[in-house]
Amino acid sequence: MEKPPHSQGPCGVLVVDKPVGMISKDVSRWLSKRIGSKVKMGHAGTLDPAAEGVLPILLGKATRLQDQLLDLPKTYECDLRLGSETDSLDLDGEVVKEMPFSHVTRQALEEASQTLVGKQQQTPPIYSAVKFKGKPLYFYARNGRADEIDLDALARSVEIYEFKILEFSGQIVTFRLRCSKGTYVRVAAKTLAEKLGTCGTITRLCRSESSGVDREHAFTLEEIENFLEKSGKLREPLLIPMESLDLGLDSLPIEDSRSIARLKSGQKIWLEDGLAAVRGSKLGELIGNRTQEKLLLLDKHGRAFGLGLGHLKPDGLQVEMKRSLL
């Protein structure tokens, strides 16, 4: 009898609504105590103690999707208080600058925010987890060694897809930022304030979307605790199966067990009927190109068994598996 995939222990993504005061590893430790330390676990994007919101916890074979999930956009909703700036750019730091802000208007905010949309180089703040010689930058900051770091040399390429002003009270700016991985929201907020001739500090930072899941589909620790007490194990609807995730990939069903076996052994397969499976999809637009596109490979049960690459030609589809999910 064919053994159903993903049958050994929890496998999928648990989307946690992380509270303020915990780091991402705290959430992982909390969960390990309840489901067992032997369950393989990871997370798609960290959140520092001052931040709250969506924290996807990857369990079992789903940890192999970490890179794919990290590449997906993230959305944040934040409050920026104008007029003062701390060394950490949030409420955890000491005030290092104060500037007038009464001249700032809603229109000026909206115009300045739009200048920050697009691809750009961003320098990490000294209070961040970026590593330098094996230690996070905040280690140097907290030990009075910040002058050892050339922050400009650590600049990275990021992209801001949306910067929308939601509310403005005269001092508190509430905004939504949708961005690529690696974007520092506090730096974006600092830059916004500087464009308006003032300074500012983040007073609330909430990640409202990550890995294709928004906050309304995330679960609090209390909800997870109650679910485990009643059911005894993680399962749907708390646990999202790999094939149900919005990975930003085309899915390709492969029902023939021999073809799946060949893929698992590292061989490429040719699907003459592969055109029908992907026509009209993102991959279908690549007919005639030599560009390869990532695929989520599904078996006859509709379950994900691998991440693959597809090369589409007018007469068929060549497929290879790059990473097993079994």
What does the alpha-carbon distance between residue 257 and residue 301 come to, in Å, rounded to a whole number? 11
Between CA 277 and CA 254 the distance in angstroms is 10
First and final C-alpha spacing in the chain: 17
Q: Which of 17, 48, 79, 299 is catalytic?
A: 48
The greatest distance separating any two alpha carbons of the chain, rounded to the nearest whole angstrom, comes to: 73
48 belongs to the catalytic site? yes
Q: What is the C-alpha to C-alpha distance for residues 32 and 195, in angstroms, rounded to an integer? A: 45
Q: How far is Cα 215 from Cα 77, in angstroms, rounded to an integer?
A: 11
Q: Do the Cβ atoms of 177 and 163 come closer than 8 Å?
A: yes
Helix (H) or strand (E) holding 62: none
Both tokens assigned to 178: 């949708």
Which residues belong to the active site?
Answer: 48
